[in-house]
């Protein structure tokens, strides 16, 4: 669909939001079967605010794509640059605000940054579809079932046809004869990645490991690393929708990987943050004297004192 697009390009600073739209989103829209008249681009909202209770909240931007079925909008999609986060935060809030805007009112809202695609339905907290764009073929049946023009039934509220959950495996995937990959660029420091949080001595380059997993296995397969070390294989396997088995003689390695893959409990995290913040605010030094006093109680490495004294 993307005409042999090299996904490594997404790591180039020149590949921005407009490239994501032209090179990646456009082919998806065409393949889904939308006609030009059904795609409303950059619609200006007549009332550039949203009322939440009695409060007016400004909506500064306009949605990139609105998909129209008969006289209603069926879903909304915003493109982002590959460096932007689409699974949480401001971008997600923004697209949600479009979806609930009185001039839009779509049940489905989605974001795509070239690397990932995420789809939400207003009545579900969790995304109903999330995948790496590189793996789009594995999700195509589900994408069509949710988002193609035919999947929407017109009427007061849109519904969608039932989704075929099974991700059919390609029959022609021959594990033994997969080609070796060409040399890959190394993105050691270029992404906020699990491996950045520790310094386990055997750490390998995540993007290379990921490419090999993609090349030699299919979505849903089991990837085994019996000398798992830093956990890069296990984690990249999970990130690309495989199952993974991590084995290592060193308990530190197993502990690290268990911690890295543990689901985050956002309520607990929020509570812990609130407690730490409250503790800090209660003890925050307010004047220079209080700051010096506080610093005396903090064990700062001697070398730092030394360097500071010399300056």
Ligand X SMILES: C[S@@+](CC[C@H](N)C(=O)[O-])C[C@H]1O[C@@H](n2cnc3c(N)ncnc32)[C@H](O)[C@@H]1O
**What residues line the site for ligand X (CB under 6 A)?**
202-204, 225, 227-230, 232-233, 247-250, 253
**Secondary structure string (H, E, C) spanning 31-67:** HHCCCHHHEEECCCCCCCEEEECCEEEECCCCCCEEE
> Between residues 197 and 247, which has the closer beta carbon with respect to ligand X?
247
CA distance 246 to 202: 14
| Rounded least distance, CB 218 to ligand X, Å | 21
Helices (H) and strands (E) in the chain, counts: 10, 10
Tokens 């590189």 label which residue? 134
Q: How far is the CB of 263 from ligand X (least distance, A)?
A: 23
Residue with Cβ nearer ligand X (106 or 253): 253
| Nearer to ligand X (CB atom), residue 232 or residue 238 | 232
Residue 78 or 248 with smaller CB distance to ligand X: 248
Q: How far is the CB of 231 from ligand X (least distance, A)?
A: 7
The residue at minimum Cβ distance from ligand X is: 229
Map the chain to HEC letters. Answer: CCCCCCHHHHHCCCCCHHHHHHHHHHHHHHHHCCCHHHEEECCCCCCCEEEECCEEEECCCCCCEEEEECCEEEEEEEECCCCCCCCCCHHHHHHHHHHCCCCCCCCEEEEECCCEEEEEECCCCCCCEEEEHHHHHHHHHHHHHHHCHHHECCCCCCCECCCCCCCCCCCCCCHHHCCCCCCCCCCCCCCCCHHHHCCCCCCCCHHHHHHHHHHHCCCCCEEEECCCCCCHHHHHHHHCCCEEEECCCCHHHHHHHHHHHCCCCHHHHHHHHHHHHHHHHHHCCCCHHHHHHHHHCCCCCHHHHHHHHHC
In the bound complex, what is the minimum distance in angstroms from residue 235's beta carbon to ligand X?
A: 10
Shortest Å, Cβ 115 to ligand X: 22
The smaller minimum CB distance to ligand X, of residues 165 and 192, is found at 192
The nearest distance, CB 247 to ligand X, in angstroms, is: 6
- Cβ at position 213, least distance to ligand X in Å: 12
Identify the bridge partners of residue 243 per DSSP, sorted by sequence position: 222
Given the complex with ligand X, which of 186 and 247 has the nearer CB atom?
247
62 vs 205 by CB, closer to ligand X: 205
As measured in angstroms, the least distance from the Cβ of 212 to ligand X is: 11
Nearer to ligand X, 105 or 188 (CB): 188
Q: How far is the CB of 299 from ligand X (least distance, A)?
A: 32
What tokens were used for 121? 């339905």
Beta carbon nearer to ligand X, 46 or 189: 189
């Amino acid at each position: 669909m993307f005409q042999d697009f090299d996904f490594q390009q997404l790591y180039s600073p020149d590949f921005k939001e407009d490239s994501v739209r032209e090179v990646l989103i456009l082919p998806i829209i065409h393949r889904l079967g939308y006609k030009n008249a059904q795609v409303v681009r950059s619609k200006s909202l007549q009332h550039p605010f949203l009322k939440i209770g009695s409060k007016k909240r400004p909506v500064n931007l306009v949605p990139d794509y609105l998909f129209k079925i008969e006289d209603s909008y069926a879903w909304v999609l915003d493109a982002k640059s590959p460096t932007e986060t689409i699974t949480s935060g401001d971008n997600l809030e923004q697209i949600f605000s479009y979806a609930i805007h009185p001039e839009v009112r779509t049940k489905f809202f989605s974001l795509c940054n070239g690397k990932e695609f995420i789809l939400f339905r207003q009545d579900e907290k969790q995304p109903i579809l999330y995948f790496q764009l590189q793996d789009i073929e594995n999700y195509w049946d589900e994408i069509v079932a949710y988002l193609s023009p035919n999947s929407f039934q017109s009427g007061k509220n849109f519904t969608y046809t039932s989704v075929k959950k099974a991700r059919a495996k390609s029959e022609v995937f021959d594990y033994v004869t997969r080609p070796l990959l060409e040399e890959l660029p190394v993105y050691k420091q270029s992404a906020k990645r699990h491996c950045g949080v520790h310094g386990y001595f055997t750490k390998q380059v995540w993007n290379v490991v990921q490419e090999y997993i993609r090349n030699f296995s299919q979505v849903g397969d089991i990837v085994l690393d019996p000398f798992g070390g830093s956990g890069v294989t296990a984690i990249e396997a999970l990130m690309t929708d495989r199952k993974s088995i991590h084995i290592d003689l060193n308990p530190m390695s197993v502990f690290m990987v268990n911690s890295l893959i543990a689901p985050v409990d956002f309520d607990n995290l929020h509570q812990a943050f609130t407690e730490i913040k409250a503790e800090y605010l209660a003890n925050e030094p307010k004047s220079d004297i209080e700051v010096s006093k506080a610093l005396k109680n903090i064990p700062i490495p001697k070398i730092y004192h030394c360097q500071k004294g010399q300056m």
